[in-house]
Amino acid sequence: MYQDEEIKDLATKVLQKLEQKINLTEAEVYIQSLSHMLGGNEYRTPKVYQSINREGCAIRFYKNDNLYFACFPLRTVLSDIEKITSITTFPIVCKKFEFPEIKLSQTEISKIYDKRIASMNEEEIYALSYSMSNTDENMKDIILDGTIRLSLERKAIANTTQSIAFEKSTWCDIDLRALYRGYNMISSAEKHLTSRQIPSSVTSIVEDLVDDTVRRSTISKNISDLELPVIFSPMALSQIFSFTIVPKLLSKSEESIKNLDFSENFNLVDDGTVPGLPNSTAFDDEGVSQSRTNIINNGIFMTSLNNSQYTFGSNERTGNSFRIKMFEVFPRTYQAYPDVFPSNLIVGEGDIPLDEFLSDSKDCILIKSTQGYMTADFHSGTFKISANDAYRVEKGEIAGALPTFDVIGNMYQILKDDPIFLKERKVVRPENTPYSILAPFFATEKTTIFP
């Protein structure tokens, strides 16, 4: 495994070799060293897996005014680039752009780099696995399964502006599932947590999970009133949001989102600098400092996310160039071509707490999680999802879990017609997405329910 100084030194050597021996005057070198340690719990038995490492180098370069992209294993990159000009690959069709200037003095973001994760100490992951097991022992009707993954990423970026950027990033991902046997049925629920630091234990996460699992065992009567208001949890909102609004943010044409009308209650920010949020880093995968970008302010479109290749005519770089391979557990990879993606999307909150809204309203439905959200149509904004974790609320209290039902709506229309954003927000990373969303609970009457 390469050490910090070795990675920085290797990035410089690769760039020098490109410039001196192959005479490429416009080139970018990206080096990634990624390590995972896996642990968890299976049928009340703690277990630990071996570490997994991934190390490599990606190079973008211009040759005869054509842009090329190539990847190499880190251990052979210095010998492999001797033949880089003869690589049988097609040039990337795009307008000519300049590789960004890398600033030597990157702003440090506090509380992101966790030295315990960096040390990859087996005792840490054993302790978490056993804390899960010990919690499980006190709950005879509950069976817990779970996976804990600690990740350390080192990245170095150098280009022909003659500067180099280096950063360590750490992640702790915990996936838990609980099975509960009660009331002559088996109920299950799942929790996912992504953090920059290792939690001291998983007890509080497990307790929330168990509460959700037991609550789901109390079945409510079927829905008869199809006109009930619907409250989407932060997770449910983020799931639909990720496949309707987010593709508009990634479109190579600003017009796709500029032409939409939103309520003045809707505010959306992308911020990769907030300490503690999962995707906060000092700089993106081109070496551009991450920033706070106001995308939609009081319903009015303000700014697109961009990178060096897709600027939309803006002189300001938002720091949103990431090397993403979709639908992977850890989606960042040197093998992916850098493209525009959000870091941490922040949806504006409202003033009314959830409990107050529930107590003041009549009967409604609370949807905590959905299935089928990936089929949402971002062109029109329409979605049809299955509410697989939903509850009937009566007189401000959760009366019981509902059988799975379908919900149809149009996210663009909902966000236009005065939606109600509530005060509580949670950080979630929807499955199959590479970014996080800080989202509030969200109430609307603009959906159609099919029991």
Angle in degrees, CA 270, 271, 274, rounded to 5: 155
pTM of the model: 0.91
**Residue 88: which pLDDT band, with cuts at 50, 70 and 90?**
low
Spatial separation of the C-alpha atoms in residues 173 and 193, rounded to whole Å: 6
Cα separation, 385 vs 393, in Å, equals: 20
Rounded CA-CA distance 157/103 in Å is: 11
What six digits make up the tokens of 61? 């370069």
Dist CA 396 CA 354 (whole Å): 10
Q: CA 145, 148, 151 angle in degrees (round to 5)? A: 160
User: Cα separation of 301 and 413, whole Å?
Assistant: 16
Distance separating alpha carbons of residues 51 and 428, to the nearest angstrom: 26
| Residues 158 and 102 sit within 8 Å (Cβ to Cβ) | yes
In angstroms, the CA 186 to CA 206 distance is: 18
Q: Compute the distance between CA of residue 235 and CA of residue 388 in angstroms, rounded to an integer.
A: 12
pLDDT category of residue 50 using cuts at 50, 70 and 90: confident
Tell me, what amino acid is at 378? Answer: F
Residue ranges of E strands in 64-119? 66-73
Q: Could you tell me if 263 and 418 are in contact, meaning their C-beta atoms sit under 8 angstroms apart? A: yes
Of 46, 51, 331, 52, which Cα lies nearest the Cα of 202? 46
Per-residue model confidence as pLDDT tens digits over 276-292? 788 888 899 999 988 99
Dihedral pair phi/psi, residue 72, rounded to 5°: -140, 150
Q: How confident is the model at residue 404 (pLDDT cuts 50, 70, 90)?
A: confident
Q: What is the pLDDT of residue 250?
A: 82
Angstrom CA distances, 72 to 16, 30, 58, 158, 410, stand at: 16, 11, 6, 16, 44
Q: How far apart are the first and last CA of the chain?
A: 54
- Could you tell me if 189 and 171 are in contact, meaning their C-beta atoms sit under 8 angstroms apart? no
Per-residue pLDDT at 325:
86
Q: State which amino acid sits at residue 440.
A: P
Tell me the pLDDT tens digit for each residue of 96-121. 899 998 875 555 666 677 887 888 77
Cβ count near 83 (within 10 Å): 9
Q: What pLDDT was estimated at residue 27? A: 92
Q: How far apart are CA 110 and CA 106, in angstroms?
A: 12
CA distances from 122 to 2, 40, 322, 413 (A): 19, 12, 30, 50
Q: Which of 42-56, 162-176, 310-324, 403-417 has the lowest mean pLDDT?
A: 42-56
Give the least confident one: 108-117, 173-182, 200-209, 228-237.
108-117
Q: How far is CA 209 from the centre of its chain?
A: 21
Q: What is the pLDDT of residue 14?
A: 95
- What number of other Cβ atoms are within 10 A of residue 327's Cβ? 11
Average pLDDT, the chain: 86
| H or E, element range at 137 | helix 122-137
Mean pLDDT of 289-313: 90
Tokens of 89: 């690959």
Which domains are seen in the chain, by residue range? 4-216 (3.30.2290.10), 230-450 (no CATH)
For residues 368 and 328, the model is more confident at 368
Q: Which token pair is 396?
A: 């401000």
Burial string for 86-121 (b: 16+ CB within 10 Å, else e) reads eeeeeeeeeeeeebbebeeebeebeebbbeebbebe
Q: What is the mean pLDDT of residues 259-264?
A: 92
Are 385 and 404 in contact by the 8 Å Cβ rule? The answer is: no
What's the Rg (C-alpha) of the chain?
A: 24
Q: What are phi and psi of 217, to 5 degrees?
A: -80, -15
More confident residue, 434 or 308: 308
Residues 365/223, Cβ–Cβ less than 8 Å: yes
